[in-house]
């Protein structure tokens, strides 16, 4: 078996490649991008690519029909287009959703099309006349992805509400929900057998569930950043993943381990797809490239029946760079004798497994043990057939690939026949206990059935409660447009300052709007009690033809409360350490310190300060060093400055030699007034950030400092002085504490510092 090999390299997109799909005959590849275009790439040499233009905004998903006569695309412009893959690029269009379309997929018969959207729904359409059939509505947040099963009877979907749902297409009902406590899935797809689903998660993991047993059967933790896309090889033996860590990884599902790590993209890898025969796969990335790889994998469909030799599938788990694109490979040789020798050698050395091997180890959900079998060099492993899923989504007779079907020790669960190893139950079960065991099991099944029905009722009630809450929230969002609430003034050619006029001045945040060459950036967005987006649109400072980004300097209510108004149309950015607070609307992170006395005028009728909350908001996390491209070589550079909150940031704008500081530093009478005493604060972090900022300001030519509150600094020295005063005030506090604080008397024994300043 040879290693994957890079075959072709395409680059014509002007932004991130979001989606890929091969034609059924593998003669063409279609790609979609944030640049609002599709490209149809031919595999024949000296044949030019076709560029399809029609969408008014980013293309999130593309898919070839099973016949290859149509291409479907879904876009941020809320529309779905059906294209004829020819030089003319003709298409029909229909408005499918009330928010961005995130995914499109054809059923295997080519007669139906589904679309999933940020409006939290999945819709099914007829392909011939684009007639709406029905919608699936139980998700409570964006539906990132939805796919048909190979037989078209089931639908799987994943959402930002941290759930994965299996739907029955005939009844339009949700058959089962998998919950993801540590993140949400970016992508989900069916195994070619239709019995399992696989997904890539924001927690950097790849997971596979059996929809018959409704259990997680494999979990891989080999990536170090969010997994953006996954694809099963058509033979069902392998899974390919693309991650923001800039790598592609290939997993052997029969052995349950990582076998290849591929490097080719200069930045996050965003999409992957296999050809129908599995002999090629493609990858797309934030670097605007489309790479086509020769698979060189075996192609026999193992989910029908497989007796693949396992003795040639060992890997040492270490990455060894052979070229720019392949970073790790299998241990392989040209003859069976050499393979046996290598395997024996590996066993004799008894080397400890690598972290990749530990992370990729297959989970045996039945007995909690590793699913690595032991067998002789000449033995072959026979994998239990993964049969078709039953109508209720559960098959009680079949197990997932290579999982044990009983809880006995592996030595008792494996028998050798004709030089093969098969998994089966022990043959020495005591028949005398069979009637009692059957009665006991029947009773357990009855109790589980009652419990399942009870949970289903509770889920329904919870769903209705969420729908009511969402309805109230949407009503609130639609009516809070008070033209007197905001005031906006122009600071320079492309910078505008907005304030909330009738809110307490001490907590009144500065809202900055930068109009870039290609897109706009809003830094902080106020309380959210009135619609900032509508305010800017009324002033013609925002329009639908230009992309707008929202950047929150931290997670406090006065800086991020208004982000919800931009959720459906803009990318909302916040540092990773404050991300969860805004995403979940956690009061301990957003604080929500709002009182009736803080308002000299109610923002809208029947407003209640007591009920004010920062709503859970769809956002994306960023890290120190993140750059925001405003177009024409104009960018904003983000720096992490924790202290006020764990994820506080400052933003450097080289074009105007200016700095946006959030709540790190603002104009006040003395530096000791900087807020480091709220529950989200850390004095130690604040001191480190203050020292770094003083040095940074000294090294850079800064003409203006734009704080999160109060007046603009026209001299960077004033900002440096306030930070020095803050540092000195902590030194004074500690020195006083050493003389008088009872805690400090104990510190000589316990090596403790001043409680206020050093904890």
pLDDT digits (tens, 9 = 90+) for 260-286: 999 999 999 999 999 999 999 999 999
Please answer whether residues 448 and 492 qualify as being in contact, where contact means their C-beta atoms are separated by less than 8 angstroms. no
User: Residues 435-455: what's their mean pLDDT?
Assistant: 78
| Residue 172 is assigned to a structural domain of this protein | yes
Average pLDDT for 633-659: 95
d(CA 58, CA 16) in angstroms, rounded, equals 9
Structure tokens at 711: 């007046």
Q: What is the pLDDT of residue 463?
A: 55
Mean per-residue pLDDT for 387-407? 33
Domain annotation covers residue 276: yes
Task: Count the domains in the chain.
Answer: 2
On the question of pLDDT at 547 being above 80, the answer is yes
Q: Are 125 and 133 in contact (CB under 8 A)?
A: yes
Which one, of 201, 199, 133, 205, lies nearest residue 169 by Cα? 133
Nearest of 143, 446, 102, 451 to residue 271 by alpha carbon: 102
Q: Is residue 661 domain-resident?
A: yes
pLDDT of residue 441: 82
Q: Is 302 domain-assigned? A: no
* Domain end position, chosen among 241, 269, 294: 294
Q: What is the structure's pLDDT at 732?
A: 59
Res 464: pLDDT: 55
CA geometry: angle at 193 spanning 304 and 217, to 5°? 110
Identify the weakest region by mean pLDDT among 76-80, 429-433, 451-455, 722-726: 429-433
Q: How far apart are CA 182 and CA 530, in angstroms?
A: 32
Nearest to 258 by CA among 203, 317, 298: 317
Residues 158, 188 contacting (CB under 8 angstroms): yes
- pLDDT score recorded for residue 459: 62
Q: Please give the Cα distance from 68 to 27 (Å, whole number).
A: 10
Dihedral pair phi/psi, residue 598, rounded to 5°: -75, -10
Per-residue model confidence (pLDDT) at position 190: 97
**Residue whose structure tokens are 């734009």:** 706
pLDDT at 128: 85
Provide the pLDDT confidence category of residue 349 given band limits of 50, 70 and 90. very low
Q: What is the pLDDT of residue 574?
A: 96
So what's the pLDDT on residue 304?
A: 37
The pLDDT > 70 percentage for the chain reads 75
In this predicted structure, what is the pLDDT of residue 226?
Answer: 93
Find, among 151, 59, 154, 61, the residue nearest to 104 by Cα.
Answer: 61
**How far apart, in whole angstroms, are the C-alpha atoms of residue 380 and residue 386?**
18
Q: What is the pLDDT of residue 693?
A: 96
CA angle 247, 249, 253 (to 5 degrees): 170
Give the residue numbers spanning the domain of 695.
635-728
Domain assignment present for residue 511? The answer is: no
Cross-strand partners of 260: 250
Domain end call among 294, 327, 349: 294
Residue 570 lies in a domain: no
Give the pLDDT band of residue 77 (cuts 50, 70, 90): very high
Opening angle at CA 522, ends 516 and 527, nearest 5: 165
pTM metric for this prediction: 0.48
Q: 3-state secondary structure string, 231-283?
A: EECCCCCEEEEEECCCEEEEEECCCCEEEEEEECCCCCEEEEEECCCCCEEEE
Q: Which of residues 437 and 736 earns the better pLDDT score? A: 437
Q: Which of 294, 322, 347 is the last residue of a domain?
A: 294
Beta bridge partners of 158: 145, 164
For residues 17 and 290, give the distance between their C-alpha atoms in angstroms, rounded to a whole number.
7
Give the strands of the sheet with 173-179, arranged side by side.
Answer: 143-148, 154-159, 163-168, 173-179
Residue 299 maps to a domain: no
Residue 687 lies in a domain: yes
Write out the H or E segment, with its range, that includes residue 340. helix 336-349
Note the pLDDT of residue 312.
33
Q: pLDDT: is 215 or 379 the higher one?
A: 215
Q: Domain of 70: which CATH number?
A: 2.130.10.10
Closest CA to 496 of 515, 524, 518: 515
Instruction: Tell me the average pLDDT across 325-348.
Output: 32
**Gap between the Cα atoms of 104 and 432, Å rounded:** 55
**Banded pLDDT at 46 (limits 50, 70, 90):** confident
Task: Please give the pLDDT value at position 435.
Answer: 73
pLDDT band of residue 343 (cuts 50, 70, 90) is: very low
* Three state DSSP letters for 673-722: HCCCCCCCCCHHHHHHHHHHHHHHHHHCCCCEEEECECCCECCHHHHHHH
Residue 342: which pLDDT band, with cuts at 50, 70 and 90? Answer: very low
Which residue did the predictor score with more confidence, 585 or 414? Answer: 585
Determine contact, residues 120/87, Cβ cutoff 8 Å: no
């Amino acid at each position: 078996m040879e290693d994957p090999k890079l075959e072709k390299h395409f680059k014509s997109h002007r932004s991130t490649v979001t989606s890929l799909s091969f034609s059924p005959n593998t003669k063409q590849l279609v790609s979609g991008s944030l640049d609002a275009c599709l490209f149809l790439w031919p595999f024949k040499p000296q044949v030019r690519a076709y560029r399809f233009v029609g969408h008014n905004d980013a293309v999130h998903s593309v898919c070839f029909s099973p016949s290859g006569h149509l291409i479907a695309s879904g876009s941020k412009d809320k529309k779905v287009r059906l294209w004829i893959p020819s030089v003319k690029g003709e298409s029909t269009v229909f408005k499918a959703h009330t928010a961005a379309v995130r995914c499109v997929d054809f059923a295997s018969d080519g007669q139906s099309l589904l679309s999933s959207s940020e409006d939290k729904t999945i819709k099914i359409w007829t392909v011939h006349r684009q007639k709406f059939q029905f919608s699936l509505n139980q998700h409570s947040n964006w539906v990132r992805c939805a796919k048909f099963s190979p037989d078209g009877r089931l639908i799987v979907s994943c959402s930002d509400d941290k759930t994965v749902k299996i739907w029955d297409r005939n009844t339009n009902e949700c058959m089962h929900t998998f919950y993801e406590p540590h993140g949400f899935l970016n992508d989900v797809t069916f195994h070619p057998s239709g019995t399992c689903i696989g997904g890539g998660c924001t927690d950097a993991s790849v997971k596979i569930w059996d929809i018959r047993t409704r259990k997680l059967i494999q979990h891989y933790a080999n990536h170090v950043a969010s997994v953006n896309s996954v694809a099963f090889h058509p033979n069902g033996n392998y899974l390919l993943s693309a991650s923001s860590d800039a790598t592609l990884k290939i997993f052997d599902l029969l052995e349950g381990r990582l076998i290849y790590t591929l490097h080719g993209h200069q930045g996050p890898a965003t999409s992957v797809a296999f050809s129908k025969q599995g002999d090629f796969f493609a990858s797309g990335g934030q670097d605007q490239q489309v790479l086509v790889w020769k698979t060189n994998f075996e192609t026999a469909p193992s989910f029908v029946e497989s007796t693949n030799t396992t003795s040639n599938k060992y890997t040492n788990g270490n990455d060894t760079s052979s070229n720019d694109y392949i970073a790790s490979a299998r241990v392989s040789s040209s003859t069976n004798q050499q393979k046996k020798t290598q395997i024996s050698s590996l066993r004799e050395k008894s080397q400890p497994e690598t972290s990749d091997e530990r992370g990729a180890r297959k989970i045996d959900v039945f007995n909690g043990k590793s699913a690595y079998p032991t067998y002789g060099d000449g033995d072959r492993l026979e994998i239990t057939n993964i049969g078709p899923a039953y109508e209720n989504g559960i098959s009680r007779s079949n197990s997932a690939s290579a999982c044990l079907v009983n809880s006995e020790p592996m030595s008792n669960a494996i028998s050798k026949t004709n030089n093969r190893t098969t998994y089966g139950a022990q043959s020495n079960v005591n028949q005398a206990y069979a009637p009692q065991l059957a009665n006991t099991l029947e009773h357990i099944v009855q109790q589980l059935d009652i419990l399942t029905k009870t949970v289903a009722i509770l889920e329904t009630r919870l769903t209705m409660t969420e729908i009511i809450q969402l309805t109230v929230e949407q009503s609130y969002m639609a009516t809070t447009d008070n033209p007197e609430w905001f005031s906006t003034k122009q600071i320079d050619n492309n910078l505008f300052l907005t304030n909330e006029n009738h809110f307490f001045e001490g907590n009144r945040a500065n809202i900055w709007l930068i109009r870039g060459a290609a897109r706009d950036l809003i830094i902080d967005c106020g309380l959210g009690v009135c619609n900032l987006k509508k305010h800017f649109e009324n002033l013609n400072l925002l329009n639908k033809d230009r992309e707008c980004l929202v950047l929150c300097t931290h997670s406090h209510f006065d800086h991020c409360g208004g982000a919800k108004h931009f959720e459906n149309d803009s990318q909302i950015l916040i540092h990773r350490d404050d991300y969860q607070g805004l995403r979940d609307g956690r009061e301990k992170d957003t604080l929500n310190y709002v009182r009736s006395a803080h308002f000299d005028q109610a923002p809208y009728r029947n407003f209640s300060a007591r009920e004010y909350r920062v709503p859970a908001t769809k956002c994306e996390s960023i890290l120190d060093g993140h750059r925001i491209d405003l177009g024409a070589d104009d960018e904003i550079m983000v720096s992490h400055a924790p202290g006020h909150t764990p994820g506080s940031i400052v933003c450097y704008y080289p074009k105007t030699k200016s700095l946006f500081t959030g709540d790190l530093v603002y104009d006040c009478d003395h530096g000791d007034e900087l807020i480091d005493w709220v529950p989200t604060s850390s004095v130690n972090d604040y001191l480190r950030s203050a020292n770094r900022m003083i040095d940074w300001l000294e090294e850079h030519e800064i003409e203006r400092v734009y704080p999160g509150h109060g007046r603009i600094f026209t001299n960077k020295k004033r900002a440096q002085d306030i930070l020095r005063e803050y540092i000195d005030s902590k030194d004074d506090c500690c020195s006083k504490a050493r003389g008088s604080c009872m805690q400090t008397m104990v510190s000589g024994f316990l090596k403790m510092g001043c409680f206020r300043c050093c904890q």
